[in-house]
Structure 1
Amino acid sequence: MLRRLALMLVVFLSWPTIAPAASEAPPSRCVAIAQALPSVTLVRFDPAGAGPLLPVQAAAGDAVTISYAGHSTYVIETPGGVRIATDFSGFYGGDPLPRVVTMNKAHRTHFTEAPDPRIEHVLRGWSPDGGSARHALVVDDVYIRNVTTDIRGWGGELERDGNSIFIFEVAGLCIGHLGHLHTGLSDAQYGQIGRLDIVMVPIDGGMTQSIGSISEITTRLYSSMILPMHRHSTPIGAFTAMMGKEFEVEFRPSRSLSVSLRTLPSRPTVVVLDGV
């Protein structure tokens, strides 16, 4: 099975880049469905106005900087200088001011109702008007899209599409932030997410979901780099033990790292930055 997945990725990464028409949404380089090896079908989202993805696909050798700001907020800085803060509440990641922020609905520590008006793009993981949020946005050298999931209300009831997994496609990398993920993922959602080279995972032990459940999701995603977040008092070892021997564990003394497609770990690795 792993050999088949590896072959899928090799074919996928070598798939030729074709520029879409200006009126079309960009194709996702991170989403592929195996129809019958060795053929692969790219999946494209269709919201209007997103524009072509050429700058994203042309910078596959450059490095992205990822910094842990606090709670569920990671700051992603692209080679083109776009600064993004995830699960932005205003408490973390606001200085220097990001150009893009993503938010999720579960708690006030994951969103703000009054973001700084100078932030160019405020992407909510839920739709205030009802239904599901849908984002497919190109900002310079990064393409940002989302896959919605359900969340639990305070009474335990499920609210449809209250959370989004945000995916950032930049410099050839596929970077995912699971947000305040309360539920397991369906096969369809895994398909919409696609390949994640780097994934940011909540490991709070129950506020989102149990360590066992989140480790199962993380194992299936099988990313090269796993960045824990939203830890609270959960021992790091409780999560890494669940991940098993196939995953390396690396503690870094810095709150930031620089990574490119070429410098990803050769084995899946849980990277724990300072402050997590």
Structure 2
Amino acid sequence: MASGVSVLKLSRYREINPGRVIAVLLGIFLSFVAQPAFAICQLIANGPYLQPQADAVRVWQASLQAGEVQIRYIGHSTFELETPGGVRIATDYNDSVRPFLPPTVATMNGAHTTHYSLAPDPSIEHLLYGWNREGGPMDHDLTVEDVRIRNIQTNIRGWDGETRRLGNSIFIFEIADLCIAHLGHLHHRLTKDDLARLGQIDVVFAAIDNSSTLRLDSLMDVLAGIGPTMVIPMHFHFAGALPAFMGRATEAGYRIVRAETPKLVISRSSLPVNPTVYIMMPGGT
């Protein structure tokens, strides 16, 4: 079995429909008239694309090409994303599992303390809470150098079993012509409006614990609705969770790839042909 997805060089076939055709054509147009070229994830327009200042200094790291994104699995629900411009993002940033270096951007969710920080590193430039600590909505649409970050709020269950409205966010990262979504501590199926706001997602980080987030039946329905090219499992600390998910994913037609390292460099040209579950073990830092 190949250790990464770099051997999978063909683009995934996508069902043609007018909405996606328009989105693709718009993406091609923007790639010529604006820099950086953000991915076009949305099928409906609910916010403008923010552009960096014309005189902004951009530093490109030699380790990543312009169309590449590095993903490192830190642990639990925390991934570190690195953009070609050197922006580093930590998802579900918390006080237990962290990247070695403070990120540029940290996203957090309100499930419990393994998904948010009570003492975030003061050098983090952008702290994005997935819930409003004072109640009500919390909407983000932020561009930092070459990445656009936005969120879609969902409800969550408290420890008492009661629903906490808008306690979780799905964060979407538009980087290097890729759309990457972190589902957070998702507790329910997505609505048609949620799916429309997500748009066409390439890579999904999904909690597969089959316990404290979604049961597998609901999770598979969520993934079928999103239709990503690649699913990267997270939050599989419960015994038997990973094998159970692998079985269901295989039944659903996903190819299973086991990574040899907790780090992946991906681009649009290296996306797999068929829907793929890419399993990385936590790598700490």
TM-score, normalised with respect to structure 2: 0.82
Q: Does 1:239 align with 2:252?
A: no
Q: Does 1:51 align with 2:50?
A: yes
Q: Which runs of 5+ in 2 are unaligned?
A: 1-12, 55-63
Q: Does 1:124 align with 2:137?
A: no
1:191 aligns with one of 177, 191, 196: 196
Q: Which has the higher contact order (CA 8 A, sep 6+)?
A: 2
Q: 1:98-128 CA distances to partner (integer Å, 9 max, x unpaired)? A: 0100000011000012101110000000011
CA distance in 2 between counterparts of 1:114 and 1:7 reads 47
One-letter amino acid matched to 2:98 = G
CA distance in 1 between counterparts of 2:176 and 2:117 reads 29
Q: 1:81-103 CA distances to partner (integer Å, 9 max, x unpaired)? A: 00000001032233111010000
CA distance in 1 between counterparts of 2:264 and 2:31 reads 31
SS of the aligned residue for 1:108 comes to: coil
Task: Specify the alignment match of 2:94 in structure 1.
Answer: 89
Please show how residues 94-173 of structure 1 align to structure 2 within 5 Å: 94-173=99-178
Two-structure CA RMSD over aligned residues (Å): 2.7
CA distance in 1 between counterparts of 2:204 and 2:187 reads 16
Shift of 1:247: 1.1
One-letter amino acid matched to 2:51 = P
SS of the aligned residue for 1:189 comes to: helix
Task: Specify the alignment match of 2:4 in structure 1.
Answer: none
Shift of 1:215: 1.5
SS of the aligned residue for 2:225 comes to: helix
Q: Does 1:204 align with 2:203?
A: no
CA distance in 1 between counterparts of 2:209 and 2:170 reads 17
Aligned residue pairs total 256
2:275 aligns with one of 253, 268, 273: 268
SS of the aligned residue for 2:138 comes to: coil
Contact 1:60 1:171 in 2 (8 A): no
Shift of 1:245: 4.6
Counting strand residues as a fraction of each chain, which structure ranks higher?
A: 1
1:177 aligns with one of 178, 182, 188: 182
SS of the aligned residue for 2:206 comes to: strand
SS of the aligned residue for 2:114 comes to: helix
Q: Which runs of 5+ in 1 are unaligned?
A: 33-41
Task: Specify the alignment match of 2:6 in structure 1.
Answer: none
